[in-house]
Structure 1
């Protein structure tokens, strides 16, 4: 069935979009420009009659194009001329380009008639905090939607997507271009005013977001991560990729507490699209959104927050100060969108980020269980230091691993963080992908030992590792399980195998411990 959200347009008009971007190497022949295109896609499984098919990726095979043509594709866009004939022996019309990634972003945006012009897209980029910030802002904007009688905002995160029409678990932090633009179009079709999303450095670097106009773009923080041959070859490449977000923003939001704040501000102010720059900080009183004081409570952090429009006490439902920073980023975005102070206060007090700083206290209170998504050295160190401030007199046990096939540096940086700050460490698997989890764990163990910490063990089975960390607790303790959040899968050799989320397993292990010890 043809996607009714896409425009029917001529092949020539699509070719002109690519020509205007200066990426056409060989244009479509004149007699084919009038061919009517009802649908455009880069997925051969979604092809319908009168489809424009985009041949993408280094792993693309000629057979995918042949499958698309058999299903009804009438033309294709590619970096390679496959010289394919139709059923009467004529060459299938094609547009040859010198940059297929740019072509994907532009074609997807054109196919759905630039949906980011019909909804206000709010994006977070940063090494950590993107997901939590997105959920915080969505909760605020949901309260705004209630006030204005609109549908709740659409949400696109690495955890889940909800575009007002479809909802499910996410495969990527930021979808590929055609899926991304379809999500925006779905949101616009049901009347959503806002879309809240995470913009990963990979998505920005490889131009999945090329056609998107961002109402607000926020840079939450920056640290070393995703440095590998298949992600970012250098830290500078990683930073430059994130800063590209400001090339298409109307309002740029910058965290002044990060080391690269001055660089981010310079890029934001130099952007031709940015009309306003808003800043936030836990430390700099000159920031547009600032916290002069806060206190930890049993319900979370109660903070006095000052913005360009108001000053009032707000409740952030988390004990972690780094989530106060995430909340400030969400508040700054809400300021940019002119959301009422009441909606900010109410929405933030109800905010919840699944798998992010979820607390699981045992019934007796002797153990505080924590599930988080911290999956690199920077985020793990921040998490452990923050929890130490909240629970200074407790033993700290941490369960974690590192992903395989990417982010190789995490094995060392996470091992260092745990080695410095944890009392007991259980090293286990975490989406080993194509690698042997035992080898990943060995690398982490070496980094832990290098800190002079020998209170570690390797338990490859993650479920058993969680039980081990709980069962070996003897006094008041904090047991932290991190890396996967509430993921219901374990990625092994390219397959997402079912996995019971960490929170469910930790809750059960704590209940068993209570029955035996209390």
Structure 2
């Protein structure tokens, strides 16, 4: 693992930060030159001898620095001079900076010797569809890797990651800088040609991706979400944060089917590193990648797709028409990366997206269960609209809630979507976090009722809510359980409590209903 790290002098790190215009003060030249940095981190528990320790965050405590120095840190970076020499009885070199978040990203990138220069990193940003897009593109790139005898591509999503060395469950949609750069370095070490990831608005706003060079960056769509005091104060702040994707991007991919498409295009076209802009659309024939016609089948949606290099029928393994847009975005990225038509076709057809539009039909065929991750009004409305179009003669029931502690607007927007489009609604908990789930559910219910909808109920226990939605089904129906995908936990008061994934519960409840009816 040590081979991942690049040993540099403290002077080299000081020069890096000075060049970025964020170094406010540096130690004496002698201290810089004689201090060798073999590791860097912002976590005092990870410190080893030779570490440059980064003092990060409004909640940072002086004791973290003391612990880091005791564990072997030889210098630190901070926005504050902690004047710790007298307390320790020795001199500790300190770099004072004006922007600790930019510092984190630049030091992490330098520590791992700019790994995104050795792996083609492709990132998706957008209000919805990021995870699905990652899995679609990863599957195409995996087909390419198989064709050429290469390791499978690495990927990072808000659900899980596999960087070629480590695999696991994700804690953030886009990791903090030191973790993100390590994941990319692992991919390079494993011989992966590509890494596909989600780039969240929060990650870009707080500069976690500042050091990452994106071979391809895709802007998929935009809608109101994540507006709160602890996320984005305004819709414009949210939008501008997403546009930061193009600052370190070589090829920009833009969805033309959005209200903000022209603004996104303008930013992409004038971004300093962007060499090429590719567009896609379900509606506009002037896009670089577009769908000429499509049809629904039992295996998903077959679409005649035109790209600059080929036109052929492709299978999107989802019954939802809105996933056509996600597929087009992924195809456009694959086009930008030079994937073969066969790799695109066979990779897309075999793609699986855990917790996204997973189907659970009963043996009798009378009821179709659907588990999805739609967790905002925009996503839920698209999901329900599509299922209504696909199954017009069936009752449409939905089980959902809204997260606590963030995205407060989702309670209203999801309630409105369900109130307009669902026949039957069961409102329940969904990672209530620091809040009372009953209060969240009441807010959703108010939004549902405002649409004139009366066939709704609140069942706080999510497992019981799923059972209720299935048990009260009278005939042919589609039952949607959304918000958590295949999450194996429920977040309550800062604790990730074990939770049986929605799909497992829905499948069991449907089997019992089918046997009884």
* TM-score, with length taken from structure 2: 0.99
Q: Which residue of 1 aligns with 2:264?
A: 264
Following superposition of structure 1 onto structure 2, how do residues 391-410 of structure 1 map, counting pairs within 5 Å?
A: 391-410=391-410
Which string of whole-angstrom CA distances, capped at 9 and with x for unpartnered residues, describes residues 219-275 of structure 1?
010000000011000000000000110111100000000111000000000111100
Equivalent residue number for residue 5 of structure 1: 4
Q: In structure 2, what is the equivalent of residue 490 of structure 1?
A: 490
Aligned match of 1:17: 16
Distance 1:79 1:303, change over 3 A: same
8 Å CA contact 1:86–1:92 kept in 2: the answer is no
Return the alpha-carbon distance in structure 2 between the equivalents of residues 357 and 480 of structure 1.
Answer: 9
Q: Which residue of 2 aligns with 1:365?
A: 365
Note the residue ranges of structure 2 that are not aligned, 5 or more in a row.
none
Matching of residue 390 in structure 1 with residue 397 in structure 2 = no
Aligned partner of 1:227 in structure 2 is 227
1:88 Cα deviation from its structure 2 partner: 6.3
The CA distance in 2 between the partners of 1:91 and 1:428, in whole Å, is 57
Instruction: State how far apart, in whole Å, the 1-side matches of 2:426 and 2:294 are.
Output: 34
Out of 76-85 and 340-349, give the one that drifted further: 76-85
Partner of 1:194: 194
Deviation at 1:458, TM superposition (A): 0.6
Residues 143-182 of structure 1: matches in 2 within 5 Å?
143-182=143-182
- Distance in 1, matches of 2:191 and 2:213, equals 18
Cα distance in 2 for partners of 1:416, 1:139 equals 35
Match of 2:54 in 1: 54
Q: What's the secondary structure of 2:404's corresponding residue?
A: coil
Distance 1:88 1:390, change over 3 A: closer
SS in 2 for 1:207: coil
Residue of structure 2 equivalent to 1:93: 93
The CA deviation at 1:92 is: 1.4
Shift of 1:83: 1.2
Q: Closer, same or farther in 2 for the Cα pair 1:88/1:330, shift >3 Å?
A: closer
Task: Tell me, yes or no, if the aligned pair for 1:83 and 1:91 is still in contact at 8 Å.
Answer: no
1:105-124 mapped onto 2 (5 Å cutoff): 105-124=105-124
Matches within 5 A, 1:249-260: 249-260=249-260
2:472 matched to 1:476? Answer: no
CA distance in 2, matches of 1:179, 1:28: 28
SS in 2 for 1:410: helix
Distance 2:293 2:396 in 1: 28
Aligned residue pairs: how many? 516
Deviation of the 1:24 alpha carbon: 1.1
Cα pair 1:40 1:108 within 8 Å, conserved: yes
For 1:290-316, what per-residue CA distance to the aligned partner results, in whole angstroms no more than 9, with x for missing partners? 001000000000000000000000011
Give the whole-Å Cα distance in 1 for the aligned partners of 2:86 and 2:153: 45
> Once superposed, which parts of structure 1, at least 4 consecutive aligned residues long, lie more than 2 Å away?
85-88
Q: Residues 395-434 of structure 1: matches in 2 within 5 Å?
A: 395-434=395-434
What are the ranges of 5 or more consecutive residues in structure 1 without an aligned counterpart?
none
Residue aligning to 2:32? 33
CA shift, 1:3, in A, is: 3.4
TM-score, normalised with respect to structure 1: 0.99
Q: 2: distance between equivalents of 1:341 and 1:490?
A: 41
The 1:57/1:224 distance shift into structure 2, 3 A limit, reads same
Q: In the TM superposition, what are the counterparts of 1:447-462 in structure 2 within 5 Å?
A: 447-462=447-462
